[in-house]
Structure 1
Amino acid sequence: MPLGPGATRPGALSDTLVGRQAELELLHSAIAAPPSLALIEGEAGIGKSRLVAELLATPRLAGVRRLVGQCEQLQEPLPLSPLLDAFRLARDELARSQALNPVIGTLAPLLPEIAPHLPPPLPPLPDPGAERHRTFRAAVALLDHLSPLVLVLEDVHWADSVTHDFLAFLASHLPRDLSVILTARTGAGRLPIREALARAPSGPARFVGLSPLSRPEVAELAAGILAAELPRTFADLLYEKTGGIPFVVEEVLRTLMERLPASEIPHRAEVLADLAVPTVLRDVVLHRLYSLDETAQEILGAAAIIGPVPDDRVLAEVTGRDLAEIAHALARAQAVGLLHEEDGHCRFRHALARQIVYESVPVSERRWLHLNAARALESGVGPKPAARLAHHFLHAGRTTEFVANVEAAADTALTHGNDATAARFLLQALEAGEPSRDTRVRLAVKLGRAAVDGLAHAEAVPILERLLATEPLPAPVRGELRFALGRLLRQHGEVRAGHLQIESAIDDLADQPALLGRALAVLTAPETVVERHVREHVARCDQAEDAARRSGDRDVDIAVRIARASLMLEQGDPGSWRLIDDLLHDDHLRSAPREHARACLNWAQAALHIGRLEPAEALLAEGRRVAGQAEYLRVAEVVELVTAAVDRAAGRWDGLVDRVRGLGGAAATFAAASLDSQLLHGALLAATGPTEEAVDRLVDVIAVAERVGAVWPLIPARTTLSRLLLTLDDAAGAAEHANAALAHVRTKGNWVWGAEPVLCLVDALHAQGRGGEAAELVDELAARLAGADAPIAQAALLTAQGVLARSRDEWGPADRLFDEARTTLKRAGLRYEEALAAERLGRLRCERDATDGGRLLESALRRYGALHADRDIARICQIMRRNGVPIPYPWRGGRPSLGQTLSSREREVALLAAEGRTNQEIAVELFLSRRTVESHVSSALRKLGYLSRKELAALSLDGGA
């Protein structure tokens, strides 16, 4: 038997769904091919619930089991309440079930109504994160047991963050016969789980966006409700007044039908004139409200204060009315359409209706009702609902009680591992009135701890800064706040400012060895900040180890050992791998999944920095697995970034540019990670084009990195730009950026990062006929890299030595060095760098008329083709033509290439580009998108073997193509 609601939205006037057939078919296709996810989005009143009801009522779903849960606006920081509500609907089915998965017993304490039908509860786990993960597994197991199933969760924009975490978990662990449909209101902020839904392993969710009805659709809806043809004048005016929102259309017509016979309304357009826009819905709801007697109005106003589902007992205590009066008033409100019954409860028909009734209560009376509601909730049995109490005390103007309850709600959230909710509550407490100094300090310390993992960076930073600037704090408190502020600033992208804050905290933390050890461990990271030599990072690490020993805290010891491994790895110290292996097998680290995941991701990035791809992939896989199991959503963006960086290094470039383009945008959580993603994007564009965009992106990264003092994006960004400028024959510009990168390398003292800038500088000097000037620098690099386990740096050193040999006409040594560099990169699995090395060696051998030079160039061309590296393809084709090497077509998979022949559209675009037209000007003239023009220009350059559009100016396309 199906489980869930009936066919249509309660109180709907129309039996016919208007204007949503395409959306309905999309949902049907999702349900027909489980596992599937669908998210229906739209503004309030747009018809999300109606669409779901229509879907569930269609004959195609007859006999299909479904569960429906409703998220409410006032959520407690306890997890999964809408899902638990849905599970309660499965009571009869579970009563008939046998052999349930034992893990489902985890849900028994949360579902006392159906606990007798579930396995016995499991012993609690000591780690809240592990307990939450087991609860998530239990919920997925129960959904799997109930499958085939359609699960509907409505209004997930109101769900608490733990429920959002579960939905992200569910997206990665969908039972094969489960279809999930979510509804969410737009305008309530970006839905936290949207990215998880878009990247679900079973396939991206279907996103169904509902927009207002069109003018003809409003006319169709109204005609169906009134059972009459509508004159054009009336239909147009109704559309103008309602904005095409179905709920408003229905409410306006409901009001008019109370005044006039339905058949007369279409001919009385003047009746719409009194309904002003945009307050028409308010007029409709208030008209219904004022049709009630004063007692019912009073009780309904109190109901709006209490929440979406008014409780009779609380209503009685708040209003002083007896239960009979309460029941009569709610029945009258239901009769006029302000309330409706759902799941055995009387609730407001719509959040907008409750909001309008709420705002109709005078402000002074509203405050009194909120206070009464708080007192009534305090007098109830069982745990006190701190979040709801805080809400009522806030609106009652009782700051002291509000702060006490919102702090309690934050503490509850923290016990459930819900740092984001805790940080939000603490921010509210600190912004409310003027708490006492001791209270502000206590709240700020808690906020500093919660905000790092709770992602409340932007909001928490000014509060901590203000407190540190204005309050005479005890040294231990000041040190902890500075440490917290420093971490927040670093995660917010202000690397130098964050580093300085943590440095300033060190003396204040002298008597707190555990916190001191953690602070010093953060200062150990060499890749974060400029102007600190690696010797200083090593000294900080030694100090951190001493603090960890004094603290006797195993967690601090683990954190310091992780930092030591990262520091050694960034320097190419071979001993780092033994330390990492020891840590990965340490049971204490395994029992701390967040620390475990962070460590793996940091080490994966460091491994990529030195060119160790295989361990980077293994560490990424471990970090992703642990973060997924622990539902550690805070690192989701970092996981995506490191995955993209690994794919770039491994040569898996299909769709990679678009993936990277989507990372690190305005909505990015970590500004530091965002900067790294911009660097990755610029590096990919340097190979694939367009050139102008690549240059702009890299220049932006350099500017931001210099402003915030972030050394790692700064050095590789300048190096990448230097290499790009070399391909554009700007040797002077390339040398300038290479020298700037080397200046930072010298300041930092980590020459593993300096090998590629040295190579760029050597290439630039060689291009200017000054190759011999770099000999001393290359010798210095060789001495600094002795014994380093860093394939990228070692290959760059070999190549630089080869360039010097080539400048001295020592062909044999140059060939040997270039070939050794290529072998090093091939062994490391760095496919793009291997192709560059093969191209360099092929050019050298072609210059010497060696027989296999052309073969090397062809292999590099095929690699560039597989990577879609259009700029490199254009360059190497030009080199091959110049050396008489045949260019094989096609040289990559996919549809057959046109070879050197331009298509008619490419020829047309290329002619306009040859005249000096910009891409935008060409797009306007040919009625194309700018992106399409960029693609045609890039393709033409590649086929013709040109490096830049400047060369098109001298081209006679009619003869040459």
Structure 2
Amino acid sequence: MEVAGRAREIGMIGKWLDSGTSGPWMAVLSGDVGIGKSTIWSTALEVAAGRSYQVLSCRSDESETGLAYAGLGDLVNGVEGSAAVRGLREPLRRALATALWWEQPEGEPPSRRAVAMAVLDLVRRLSAERPVLIALDDLQWLDSATEVVLAFVLRRLTVEPVKLLATLRTGPDGDAWPALARVLPAERVTRWEAGPLSPDALAAVVEGRYGTALTRPLLRRLHEACGGNPLFGLEMARAWAERSDPAAAMSLPESLRHRLRQRVSALSPAAAEAALLVACASRPTIGLVETVTGGLEGLAETTSEWLVSLDGEVPRFRNPLFGVAVLEVAGPLRRRDMHVRLARVVDDPEERARHLAATAGEPDAEVADTLDDAATLAATRGAPLVAGEMAMHAARLTPSGQADIGLRRQLAAAAHLISGGDGTRARALLEDALRRCPPGPGRAEVFFLLGRAIFNSGDIAGSIVPLQWGRAEIAGHPELLVPITASLTYFCMHLGDLAAALGHARELLTLAEGTGDRATRDDAVIVLATLEFMCNASAPVGLPVPARARDRDRAPLVALHMYGYLCRCLGDLPAAKAAFATLRAAVAETGTEASAEWGMVWAAEVECLAGDLKAAARYADLAAHAVQETGVPSSAALFAEALVLSLRGELDRARRLAGEGLSVAHASGHRTAALTVRALLGFIDLSGDDPMAAVLHLDAADQMSSSLGAVLEVVCPTAGADHVEALVLVGRYDQAAERAERMQRAVRAIDQPLARGLAGRARGVLLTATGSPKRGVAELEAAAAEFSTAGMPFELARTLLALGRSQNRLRRREAARRSMERAGRIFTELGAEGWAERAVLRSRLSTPNKLTVSEAPVVALAAEGRTNQEIADELAIGVKTVESHLSSAYRKLGVRSRTELVVRLTADRRGAGQD
């Protein structure tokens, strides 16, 4: 049984069950109420049963603590008729049967010692057959009679394989270390703490219970609200599902209200005041509590009552819902008074603004101004979501006589929320603003932000219309026309409408030149050059380097994204790395990671070309984080992870993720993403020795690029070479030749090392397959030199592998072995294990050991799964010759089939590695 988010705990219990088989051992799993201890405990019982343990279990309840032997009855339930019970000496069997009411008592009730001796004898008899696990859930409520018996038993066990697993609630309702847990020596007792669930695990629990998949922003709020406690999280999710606005202010569901309020209401006045301060303050400290309340006695009580814990100088609620309960119990007047007191003493402008906002029940110009200033500060420090919430408060508290100011603050709030990835609330604000905003620049501003919000929500096509409406609302205002046109250009590029994107880019340059601002013009030049390169492979010359975004709301890093993408397409790795490093720093500084997912993906591609798969994985993680912030399905993170996995050789996972990415791209209308993912799928299948599947994907990518008006060699630089290689492997030489010629035409336009190297490798593979291996070797050697100069080790190693094949065809056995060994070393250094194994196999088979120089390449291709006809076609020999060489090789290697051949060669390879 799999429990969401508890693999670590289940794994530790499994290891504990497998260890220490002699004598008694104990493990205690502790944690807060609702944290999931019982769920882990139940799963542990299944694990123990699967390991052939005799499991004796009981669940204790608070209402049964006064019932003698209630726990013991549960423990031995089901074994009363067993051979172990029947074998007990009669006085002991009768004592146990009477104590547990298996039989009608006669005379005086049995002594507790007699019962304990009977249980000891029973446990010994059971453990003689197989190991015994005594499992106690909620140890703090185990009845005292059962606890005394178990303590008696544990003290007297010596070598018997008996283990006791208990769960224990921490806090005032549970003993932190009960007497039973102190019976055994400390070295025989293990203690674990069940911690909170991760957001993803909590989402799985909620979906498993209610069948509801939470959006990422809502999941984030739920996780923050319940502190990762699954019981509280389930109750909160159910309560939110029953109300119309889950984004409204959080309140306790009725199922938890009584339990939590009861804990809070029992506090003394001093402790209640300290708890209220911790609940109201954004950054509570021990010093702040002492300053405002005049002492620390109340705080000490909250910690002893298990409501608050201390993290250094910072008091925190053990679960955020305790804070909600404190606020509810305090009531509005006491809450307002605490915020007033805090506003007087805190120095931080943002926190002071929060407290002032909490004290203002009606519009207040002074408080609204303070909140507006605090929003600006939050945005400056890279906290756009915080800035958005403060700007929303500022707009709400702006007096009706300042409608223009209130609208401006509402738009600022929407812009901050978009930057932080919360497009849902931003769209609600903007749609409300549209109803109140007159035609003109203000309405154009709303449409501009609405387009961005829709784009970030994953609706690529839907984002275009609001931007077009915004352009229709305004003329002669370049300060807004420039960012609207830049966004139109970028969005159309992702939509795959490159003709429209190119038109917008040209208009953008005209507008930028009209501003007289050189940096704005440089950005427009970069955007136009990128799109022209995508459409006609005309490599730009003398491009400026974009400046950091000067106004993140007006120009959300479009030029920086495009410049990095352009350098990636050209294969200018140093420039691309610098651009994406700048982009990464910019989004980290401004908190706009949610809008930079494709920038991180392109950065991952660059690092893959540069051979740094660890750096590529870090960028892939950033792309995944950006998607998590928005909660919107995106092909970006799926593509990036699949790309890294495919180079590492984890092809099944890579193929699955890329397939998901393709589906998401189609669903969102992201046609350029669909093209990119399709090309990746072709590479994955080519890497997995399925050239026909690769051809299907790469044919589709070729057709898609033509329909978009894009040059595939630019948008997906390595796809053309992969296409040629796959076509050669399936024997479609004419189509491969036509494809290679198109690559050569692109090379004449691009004239960069990446393009030259890829085209050279494609021609070399094709020439070798079509009977000109000497010319093929020359092309591949030139291609290898291009990749070596450009610093692209993965492509270099792939080219060396192809070179080794061509050298084999020319009977240059030693040269082939050196090429393949070098390729293997490079793949190994990069962490591309699948490709490294392929290179090692070919290298070993290129050495004339038992096999002749004619047999070795035939065996190499057969081991890769090629048919006899495919081998004959590639080596330009007859099928009968292939069959003859294989028969001879089978005899020499001592195998009888292709399956045995692969097994033998794999074993030889492993043996060589051990040597």
TM-score (normalizing by structure 1): 0.53
| Counterpart amino acid of residue 707 in structure 2 | T
Measured on the aligned residues, the alpha-carbon RMSD in Å equals 5.8
Give the equivalent residue in structure 1 for 2:430: 464
User: Corresponding residue for 2:803?
Assistant: 841
Q: 1:661 to 1:689 in 2, by over 3 A?
A: farther
2:779 is the counterpart of 1:817: yes
What is the Cα deviation at residue 772 of structure 1?
Answer: 1.2
1-side partners of 2:149 and 2:315: how far apart?
Answer: 31
Q: CA separation of 1:552/1:45 partners in 2, compared to 1, >3 Å: closer, same or farther? A: farther
What is the aligned counterpart of 1:422 among 387, 395, 411? 387
1:762 aligns to 2:724 (yes or no) = yes
1:853 maps to 2:853: no
| Cα gap change, 1:540 to 1:951, in 2 (>3 Å) | farther
Given that residues 679 and 701 in structure 1 are in contact (C-alpha distance below 8 angstroms), is that contact kept between their aligned partners in structure 2? Answer: yes
Q: Name the CA distance, whole Å, in 2 between partners of 1:673 and 1:358.
A: 32
- Letter in structure 2 aligned against 1:391: A
**Alignment of 1:740 onto 2:700:** yes
Change (3 A) 1:334 1:555: same
Give, as a single letter, the amino acid of the residue that structure 1 aligns with 2:759.
L
Within 2, Cα distance between the matches of 1:335 and 1:448? 39
Map residues 499-538 of structure 1 onto 2, 5 A cutoff. Answer: 499-525=464-490, 528-533=493-498, 535-538=499-502
Cross-structure match for 2:359: 392
Contact 1:45 1:248 in 2 (8 A): no
Structure 1 residues 355 and 435: CA distance shift in structure 2, 3 A: farther
Partner of 1:871: 834
Distance change (3 Å), C-alpha of 1:45 and 1:402: farther
**Partner of residue 441, structure 2:** 476
In the TM superposition, what are the counterparts of 1:80-479 in structure 2 within 5 Å? Answer: 243-245=169-171, 283=262, 285-289=264-268, 334=298, 337=301, 351=317, 366-369=331-334, 385-393=352-360, 396=361, 407=372, 409-411=374-376, 413-414=378-379, 418-427=383-392, 441-464=407-430, 468=434, 473-479=438-444
Conserved? CA contact 1:480–1:509, under 8 Å: no
1:333 shift after superposition:
7.5
Q: Structure 2 CA distance, aligned partners of 1:451 and 1:249?
A: 46
What is the identity, as a one-letter code, of the residue corresponding to 2:472? Answer: D
482 and 739 in structure 1: CA distance in 2 versus 1, 3 angstrom threshold: farther
* Structure-to-structure mapping, 1:772-851, within 5 angstroms: 772-806=734-768, 808-851=770-813
Pair 1:542 & 2:509 matched: no
Cα drift, residue 745 of structure 1? 1.6
Paired with 2:295 and 2:627, the residues of 1 have a C-alpha distance of 46
Residue number in structure 2 paired with 1:603? 563
Segments of structure 2 that go 5 or more residues without pairing to the other structure are 1-30, 36-134, 141-146, 152-164, 179-254, 851-858, 860-896, 909-915
User: In structure 2, how many angstroms separate the alpha carbons of the residues matched to 1:348 and 1:849?
Assistant: 74
Alignment CA distance shift 1:796-1:572 (3 Å): farther
The unaligned stretches of length 5 or more in structure 1 are 1-41, 47-213, 220-229, 253-275, 316-325, 888-899, 901-949
Report the Cα distance in structure 1 between the residues aligned to 2:763 and 2:651, rounded to whole angstroms: 29
Shift of 1:830: 1.0
- TM-superposed deviation, 1:643: 5.9
Deviations 1:906-928 (A, max 9, x none): xxxxxxxxxxxxxxxxxxxxxxx
Q: Using the alignment, how far apart are the partners of 1:740 and 1:353 within structure 2?
A: 53
- State the one-letter code of the partner of 1:830: M
Three-state SS of the structure 2 residue aligned to 1:422 is helix
Change (3 A) 1:547 1:309: closer
**Alpha-carbon distance between aligned partners in 2 of 1:688 and 1:306, rounded to the nearest angstrom:** 50
TM alignment of 1:666-745, pairs within 5 A: 668-669=628-629, 675-745=635-705
Quote the Cα distance in structure 1 between the aligned partners of 2:542 and 2:262: 72
Give deviations 1:482-526, integer Å, cap 9, x for gaps.
222333344454444334543443323434211111222233348
1:641–1:677 CA contact under 8 A, matched in 2: yes
* Aligned 8 A contact 2:533 2:540 in 1: yes
User: What residue identity is the alignment partner of 2:411?
Assistant: V
What is the CA-CA distance between 1:421 and the residue it aligns to? 1.7
Provide the secondary structure at the position in 2 that maps to 1:855: helix
Counterparts of 1:506 and 1:563, CA distance in 2: 19
SS at structure 1 position matched to 2:542: helix
Which residue pairs with 2:12 in the alignment?
none
Q: Does 1:664 align with 2:664?
A: no
Q: In 2, distance between residues paired with 1:356 and 1:723?
A: 53
Against the structure 1 CA distance between its residues 605 and 215, is the aligned structure 2 distance closer, same or farther, given a 3 Å change threshold? Answer: farther
- Give 1 or 2 for the bigger CA radius of gyration: 2
In structure 1, what residue type is equivalent to 2:265?
L
- Measured in 2, the distance between the counterparts of 1:451 and 1:348 equals 29
Conservation of the 8 A alpha-carbon contact between 1:475 and 1:508: yes
1:840 deviation in Å? 1.4
Q: Deviations over 1:167-207 (max 9, x none)?
A: xxxxxxxxxxxxxxxxxxxxxxxxxxxxxxxxxxxxxxxxx
Within 2, Cα distance between the matches of 1:335 and 1:537? 61
Deviation at 1:833, TM superposition (A): 0.8
Change (3 A) 1:780 1:307: closer
Matches of 1:542 and 1:687 in 2, distance apart? Answer: 38
Q: Hey, what's the Cα distance between the residues in 2 that align with 1:498 and 1:527?
A: 9
Cα deviation code 1:113-163 (max 9, x no counterpart): xxxxxxxxxxxxxxxxxxxxxxxxxxxxxxxxxxxxxxxxxxxxxxxxxxx
- The 2-side partners of 1:696 and 1:434 are apart by 55
Instruction: Tell me if the contact between 2:783 and 2:799 (Cα under 8 Å) persists in the aligned partners.
Output: yes
SS at match of 1:718: helix
1:877 to 1:560, Cα distance in 2 relative to 1, 3 A:
same
2:882 matched residue in structure 1: none
Task: Report the Cα offset of residue 850 of structure 1.
Answer: 3.1
CA 1:777–1:400 in structure 2 vs 1: closer, same or farther (change >3 Å)? same
1:287 alignment partner AA: A
Q: What's the % identity of the aligned pairs?
A: 19
Contact 1:371-1:392 within 8 A present in 2 as well: yes
Return the offset for 1:300: 8.7
The alpha-carbon deviation at position 718 of structure 1 amounts to 1.6
Partner of 2:750, secondary structure, is coil
Structure 1 644/297 Cα, relative in aligned 2: closer, same or farther at 3 Å? closer
Structure 1 residue 795, shift from structure 2 partner:
2.9
Deviates more, 1:416-425 or 1:516-525: 416-425
Distance 1:952 1:687, change over 3 A: farther
Q: What is the CA–CA distance in structure 2 between the aligned matches of 1:693 and 1:591, rounded to whole Å?
A: 40
Which residue identity lines up with residue 822 of structure 1 in the other structure? A
Distance 1:612 1:885, change over 3 A: farther
2:728 counterpart SS class:
helix
Q: Alignment partner of 1:524: what SS? A: helix
Letter in 1 for 2:686: L
8 Å Cα contact 2:444/2:473 also seen in 1: yes
Give per-residue Cα distances to partners, 1:616-650, cap 9 Å, x unaligned. Answer: 23444555677778898778978876664443222
Q: Distance in 2 between matches of 1:232 and 1:308?
A: 50
- Distance in 2, matches of 1:628 and 1:482, equals 27
Task: Provide the C-alpha distance between the structure 2 equivalents of 1:832 and 1:421, rounded to a whole number of angstroms.
Answer: 43
- 1:705-733 deviations in Å (ceiling 9; x for gaps): 22223344433322222133234454432
